[in-house]
């Protein structure tokens, strides 16, 4: 592989402050999404079909926010973009606390989806500016922080929901205020990074945008396709699997327990990967391992009839999530030229968002027409086919890939 060097020497944002920002925003976000369906259906008496549209709008907003933020990161100073994103998200959540009836809730949830995509893309893009640590380490740590936030948020939300939903939204908004204050004081080094990035790419008054090499682009598109296909199937764990488990006589609270297991295993795995970054020979091997685990997890679901077997399936699935999902944006970072890192980190979020948006619909259609077991086989085969595509593509291209370290 060829390496395109070009470190930018300047004070950079400390990784710890990115972690603080991720923790605050993900704890806050985890106060909102787990209760949306329950709150809309039980409290506001909204039908499940309309709730599906609401969740789709949230995902669509996330995709749009990711696209716009990624493009803006490459062209403009990211510092005010981050501050506006976090500040507006806090403002929307305060409005949600004050007005959480119908259809206002729909509007606020769509806006939080947009701002979630905006903030997530900018944080990932800012993470590409860090030179003190390898990209693999940075993205593993950020993924660890995200899931630690999810664990914390989902554990707390059940208690707060019973006490006061208004208080829950206020606390979520305050967490985004914490993230905003953290960004104001600790993200300023990105200003100097942006100035030097622009200076290095200037030709007269116009900034040169270096195109991604063709082979890098092909490999990146294969990764995005894999990410979208995997999320398309994975989202059925969050939607259709609960109905399936209950139909087998498994209590709903045990289905909820699976997500505690999921988040816990992710936190442990990210800790292991951060402590021992060379468990896998390279990022591609880590991606292949993770996608294999996803495929195997759906095969095990074919034979799952009791909670223990579902827990085993979730454990295998989580091994895939904890390894593949942080490795793909890290590798995309290595393949992206300096002037388009935001664009491709945004595209990474878009690929995930498309899979999340259409996953429950796709799974529901297959299940309605064929049943759960055929769907599990379809999911396993589709994900495995991504491996069949990735390995020969990588084998053909990897010696000619340009890495932007």
Which stretches of the chain score pLDDT less than 70?
Answer: 1-11, 33-34, 37-38, 48-49, 52, 158-159, 161, 197-209, 239, 252-253, 256, 405
Residue 81, C-beta contacts closer than 8 angstroms, at least 6 positions apart: 69, 72, 73, 118, 122
Rounded to whole angstroms, the Cα distance separating 96 from 271 reads: 35
Residues 6+ apart with CB under 8 A from 297: 313, 314, 316, 317, 320
pLDDT in the model for residue 177: 96
CA distances from 227 to 155, 286, 348, 387 (A): 28, 14, 8, 11
- Separation of alpha carbons 241 and 363, rounded Å: 10
32 and 155 Cβ atoms separated by less than 8 Å? no
At residue 316, the pLDDT reads 96
Taking alpha carbons only, the member of 113, 73, 118 closest to residue 92 is: 113
For 3, phi then psi, to 5°, come to -120, 125
Average pLDDT, the chain: 84
All residues at 6 or more sequence positions from 99 whose CB lies less than 8 Å from its CB, including other chains:
108
Q: Give me the domains of the chain, ranges plus CATH numbers.
A: 14-201 (1.20.1250.20), 212-405 (1.20.1250.20)
User: pTM (2 decimals)?
Assistant: 0.72
pLDDT for res 234: 92
pLDDT value at residue 98: 92
Tell me the C-alpha distance between 82 and 183, whole Å.
8
Residue-level pLDDT at 222: 95
Contact 81, 342 (CB under 8 A): no
CB atoms within 10 A of CB 243: 13
């Amino acid at each position: 592989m060829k390496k395109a060097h070009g470190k930018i020497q300047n004070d950079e944002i400390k990784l710890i402050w990115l972690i603080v920002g991720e923790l605050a925003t993900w704890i806050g976000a985890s106060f909102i999404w787990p209760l949306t369906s329950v709150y809309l259906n039980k409290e506001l008496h909204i039908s499940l079909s309309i709730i599906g549209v609401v969740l789709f709008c949230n995902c669509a907003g996330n995709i749009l926010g990711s696209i716009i933020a990624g493009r803006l990161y490459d062209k403009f100073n990211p510092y005010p973009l981050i501050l506006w994103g976090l500040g507006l998200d806090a403002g929307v959540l305060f409005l949600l606390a004050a007005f959480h009836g119908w259809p206002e809730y729909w509007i606020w949830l769509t806006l939080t989806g947009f701002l979630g995509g905006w903030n997530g893309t900018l944080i990932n893009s800012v993470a590409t500016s860090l030179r003190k640590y390898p990209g693999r380490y940075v993205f593993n740590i950020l993924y660890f922080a995200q899931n630690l936030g999810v664990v914390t948020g989902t554990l707390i939300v059940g208690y707060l929901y019973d006490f006061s939903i208004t208080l829950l939204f206020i606390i979520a908004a305050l967490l985004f205020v914490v993230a905003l204050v953290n960004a104001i004081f600790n993200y300023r080094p990105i200003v100097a990074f942006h100035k030097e990035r622009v200076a290095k790419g200037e030709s007269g008054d116009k900034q040169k945008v270096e195109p991604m090499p063709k082979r890098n682009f092909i490999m990146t598109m294969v990764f995005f396709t894999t990410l979208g296909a995997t999320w398309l199937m994975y989202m059925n764990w969050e939607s259709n699997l609960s109905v399936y488990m209950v139909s087998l006589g498994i209590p709903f609270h045990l289905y909820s327990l699976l997500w505690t297991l999921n988040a816990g295993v992710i936190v442990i795995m990210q800790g292991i990967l951060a402590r021992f970054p060379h468990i896998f020979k390279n990022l591609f091997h880590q991606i292949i391992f993770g996608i294999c685990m996803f495929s195997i997890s759906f095969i095990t679901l074919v034979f799952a009839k009791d909670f223990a077997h579902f827990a085993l399936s979730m454990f295998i699935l989580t091994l895939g999530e904890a390894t593949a999902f942080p490795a793909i944006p890290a590798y995309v970072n290595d393949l992206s030229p300096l002037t388009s890192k935001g664009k491709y980190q945004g595209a990474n979020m878009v690929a995930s968002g498309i899979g999340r948006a259409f996953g429950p619909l796709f799974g529901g259609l297959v299940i309605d027409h064929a049943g759960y077991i055929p769907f599990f086989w379809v999911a396993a085969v589709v994900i495995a086919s991504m491996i069949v595509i990735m390995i020969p593509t990588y084998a053909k291209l990897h010696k000619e890939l340009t890495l932007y370290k």
